[in-house]
Amino acid sequence: MSDEADHIAERKMQFLFALRSKGVTDARVLTAMEKIDRSPFIRGYFAERAYEDMPLPIACGQTISQPSVVGLMTQALKVTPRDTVLEVGTGSGYQAAILSQLVRRIYTVDRHKRLVREATEVFRALDLTNITALTADGCFGLPDQAPFDRIIVTAAAEDPPGPLLAQLKIGGIMVLPVGQSDTVQRLIRVTRTETGFDYDELRSVRFVPLVEGLGRDV
C-alpha cells in the first residue's frame, strides 16, 4: 500500500474505533458508516477533517453532525430494510446517505434549496438511488408521502411538531432533539402505539434549531 492509502486506512480504523467507544455498536450501522465516506459531504477546507468525530461547518451557516451522534441516532431509529423514512434537515446529506444503506427509501427535506441541491449532487455521484431530497419546511413533514415507518429530525424543536407525529405509522418510531437552542437539548425517541405515543429520553445533544419557513436562498 502507498503511504497515502496506509494513512487513510489508519484514519478510518480510528474513526470506527471512536464510534464504537461512544456506543455505536450495531454491526449494520457500523458497516454503513465504514462504507460511506464522509468527506464528499463536506466541501472545501474542512473536508480533510472528515474522519474526526466532530460536527463541522457546511454551507448556509449549518453543520454536518458529529459522526457518533449520526451513528447513535441511526441505531436509536431501529430501522428495518423495508422501511420508508423521512429525514427533516438534509444539511450535507450524510445522515441520509447512512440511512440509505439500511432502509428501502428515504425522503429528506431541508429549508435551504442550496443544501438540497448540493446533497443531491453527492447522492448521484455515489449512486445512492433510494434517496429523494426536496426543499420544504419540514415542520409540516411531507404529507404526500406520509405515513412513514421512521422519522428522524436533525434540528432541535421545542416540542415534537404535531404534523410529524401525525405522519408516523402505528408502531413507527421518530428520533429527534428537543429543547431550546443554545441550551441543553435532549435526544428523544417517540414510538407511536395503537392508543398514543411513548417517549424515551436517550441523551443530551446540541443541534442547530428547527426554523419555520424556507431559507432566503430559495
Count of residues that bind ligand SAH according to CB under 6 A: 24
Nearest approach, Cβ of 4 to ligand SAH (angstroms)? Answer: 26
Q: How far is the CB of 92 from ligand SAH (least distance, A)?
A: 3
65 is annotated as an active-site residue: yes
Residue 44 CB coordination number (10 Å): 9
Q: How far is the CB of 54 from ligand SAH (least distance, A)?
A: 13
Site string for ligand SAH, 135-164 (x = CB under 6 A): --xxx--------------xx---------
Catalytic residue among 2, 21, 65, 181: 65
Q: What is the 3-state secondary structure (H, E, C) of the chain?
A: CCHHHHHHHHHHHHHHHHHHHCCCCCHHHHHHHHHCCCHHHCCHHHHHHCCCCCCEECHHHCEECCHHHHHHHHHHHCCCCCCEEEEECCCCCHHHHHHHCCCCEEEEEECCHHHHHHHHHHHHHCCCCCEEEEECCHHHCCCCCCCEEEEEECCEECCCCHHHHHCEEEEEEEEEEECCCCCCEEEEEEEECCCCEEEEEEEEECCCECCCCCCCCC
User: Among 68, 74, 84, 92, which residue interacts with ligand SAH (rule: CB under 6 A)?
Assistant: 92
Q: Which of 19, 24, 64, 99 binds ligand SAH (CB under 6 A)?
A: 64
Question: Which of 112, 122, 149, 176 is in the footprint of ligand SAH by CB under 6 A?
Answer: 112
Q: If binding is defined by CB under 6 A, does position 88 make contact with ligand SAH?
A: yes
211 binds ligand SAH (CB under 6 A): yes
Residues involved in catalysis: 65
Binding site for ligand SAH (CB under 6 A): 62-65, 88-89, 91-92, 94-95, 109-112, 115, 137-139, 154-155, 208, 210-212
